[in-house]
């Protein structure tokens, strides 16, 4: 397992601690503070594990990723998963574009679909047992790229996926009124002896 710890040192900085400083594999909670007003956040760390899977042609992109993430979390008794890396191709994909301004100045969340073979250039995101937040960049046959929030897709030749899990950390999604979206909430996973 890979393990990294951060510890608050002074008012405005975090310092990485080695495993021997905190005990091998023991998750820890620390506070980050950049010195800016209301910039404090809680950072939760724990050992991470990598889980590799190949998703076959014609499989649904999103449900396959969610299924693989659930299996990875179950294998490590984790409640937090993330995409480490992905390579492959899609025969169709639908992405939601960022809140770009239209020419008339109003905000939009345009959704675009490509029904053509594309390469996955990048795929990143966080997953819970019930939800996902995935962003993807694709390359079209002329080499141009486009990216956005993953809505749907179908695998063309393959999706070689590595999913990471974090022991002792829990990811949940909760409505954030300031953004209008269900945003990530990171917390320390309750231990069995704490229940």
Residue-wise pLDDT tens digits, 26-46: 444 444 433 333 455 778 889
Residue 84 CB contacts under 8 Å (≥ 6 apart), including other chains = 50, 162, 163, 164
**What confidence score (pLDDT) does residue 28 get?**
46
pLDDT category at 180 given cuts 50, 70, 90 is confident
The better pLDDT of the pair 108, 61 is held by 61
Q: In the chain, what percentage of residues exceed pLDDT 90?
A: 58
Which residues are 146's β-sheet partners?
138
| Whole-number average pLDDT of the chain | 81
The answer to whether the CB of 71 falls within 8 A of the CB of 63 is no
Residue 31 CB contacts under 8 Å (≥ 6 apart), including other chains = 8, 40, 41, 42, 43
> Mean pLDDT, to the nearest integer, of 164-174?
94
What does the pLDDT look like over 111-159, one tens digit per residue?
999 999 999 999 999 999 999 999 999 999 999 999 999 999 999 999 9
**What confidence score (pLDDT) does residue 40 get?**
58
CA–CA distance, 4 with 191 (Å, rounded to integer) = 20
Q: Map tokens 């962003």 to a residue.
A: 135
The better pLDDT of the pair 5, 170 is held by 170
**What confidence score (pLDDT) does residue 38 get?**
40
**What confidence score (pLDDT) does residue 100 get?**
56
pLDDT category at 104 given cuts 50, 70, 90 is low
**What confidence score (pLDDT) does residue 102 get?**
53
**What confidence score (pLDDT) does residue 189 get?**
81
Task: Flag whether pLDDT at 105 surpasses 90.
Answer: no
Task: Flag whether pLDDT at 19 surpasses 50.
Answer: no
> Mean pLDDT, to the nearest integer, of 44-64?
96
CA–CA distance, 83 with 159 (Å, rounded to integer) = 12
């Amino acid at each position: 397992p890979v393990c990294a710890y951060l510890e608050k040192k002074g008012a405005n900085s975090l310092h990485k601690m080695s495993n021997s400083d905190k005990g091998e594999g023991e998750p820890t909670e620390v506070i980050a503070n950049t010195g800016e007003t209301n910039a404090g956040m809680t950072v939760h760390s724990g050992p991470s594990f990598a889980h590799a899977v190949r998703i076959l042609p014609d499989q649904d992109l999103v449900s396959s990723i969610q299924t693989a993430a659930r299996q990875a979390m179950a294998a490590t008794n984790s409640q937090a998963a993330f995409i480490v890396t992905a390579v492959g191709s899609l025969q169709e994909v639908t992405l939601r574009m960022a809140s770009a301004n239209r020419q008339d100045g109003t905000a939009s969340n345009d959704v675009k679909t490509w029904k053509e073979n594309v390469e996955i250039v990048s795929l990143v995101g966080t997953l819970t047992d019930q939800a996902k937040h995935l962003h993807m960049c694709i390359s079209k046959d002329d080499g141009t790229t486009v990216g956005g929030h993953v809505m749907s897709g179908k695998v063309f030749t393959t999706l070689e996926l590595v999913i990471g899990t974090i022991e002792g950390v829990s990811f949940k999604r909760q409505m954030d009124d300031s953004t209008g979206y269900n945003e990530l909430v990171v917390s320390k996973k309750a231990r069995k002896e704490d229940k």
